[in-house]
Amino acid sequence: MEDEKTEIRVMVLCFLFCLIFIGIIGRASYVCNCVHTDHDVPDITVPLMNIAVLNSTKTRFSAKWNLSIRVPNTLPGPFICLQGDFQASLLYKNITIATSPAKSYNNLQPYWAQLLKVSGVVSEEDTNGAIAKNIMGDIKETNEVWFGSRLFFPDCREMTTGMMSYTCDEAKFHIDSNSQITATAFGNPICHYDYDH
């Protein structure tokens, strides 16, 4: 009988030890997952990007552009602030041709994927000259033009200030040179954090 009691005590102690060990491992894993470094910054997806051509001639080009930005669930809180102002820029051949007005947001939830929208205008003054000629040359030759974009979010990482900058993959737009239309980008550009910014 005494041997049986001893055996039960040993089994209970082993069970408790296993529970404590599993708890320690789980806690360590949780802490590791919550610690972020600069090299962990997640990408942002642009599920919708369109351009409405307002005016186009051989030397002039103006348009309104819209971006829908999908913020991944791991970005709000550990990296970007849950509220603040963000902006987006439109690029042609790596040259910024327009930047949106700062847009405020105040409803981001930590660890939730969310959608933000921003828009801006490419004026004739922004593209007057060689840039407009190159854009219209692309449209005339292939009815296609490639635009890139850049995003700016307030930085809320520890020991940091300023803005987090993202550069997005270029997107292809099919634009008919004979009509005033709205063109939607093919595919969903991916935006990568600028580590050297």
Q: Is it the case that residue 27 has pLDDT exceeding 50?
A: no
Residues 85 and 166 in one domain: yes
Residue 30 and residue 45 share a domain: no
Shared domain for 126 and 109, answered yes or no, is yes
Q: Please count the structural domains in the chain.
A: 2
* Same domain assignment for residues 31 and 119: no
The reported pLDDT for the residue numbered 183 is: 86
Residue 170 has pLDDT above 60, yes or no: yes
**Same structural domain, 26 and 76:** no
Specify whether 21 is located in the same domain as 108: no
Distance CA 43, CA 167 (A): 10
Backbone angles phi, psi at 185, to 5 degrees: -65, 145
Domain hosting 1: range is 1-35
Contact (Cβ atoms closer than 8 angstroms) between residue 67 and residue 90 = no
- 98 and 111 in a single domain? The answer is yes
Regarding whether 104 and 30 lie in a shared domain, the answer is no
Q: Rounded to whole angstroms, what are the CA distances from 74 to 36, 47, 65? A: 10, 18, 27
Q: How many angstroms separate the CA atoms of 189 and 71, rounded?
A: 13
92 band by pLDDT with thresholds 50, 70 and 90 = very high
In the chain, the percentage of residues whose pLDDT exceeds 90 is 45
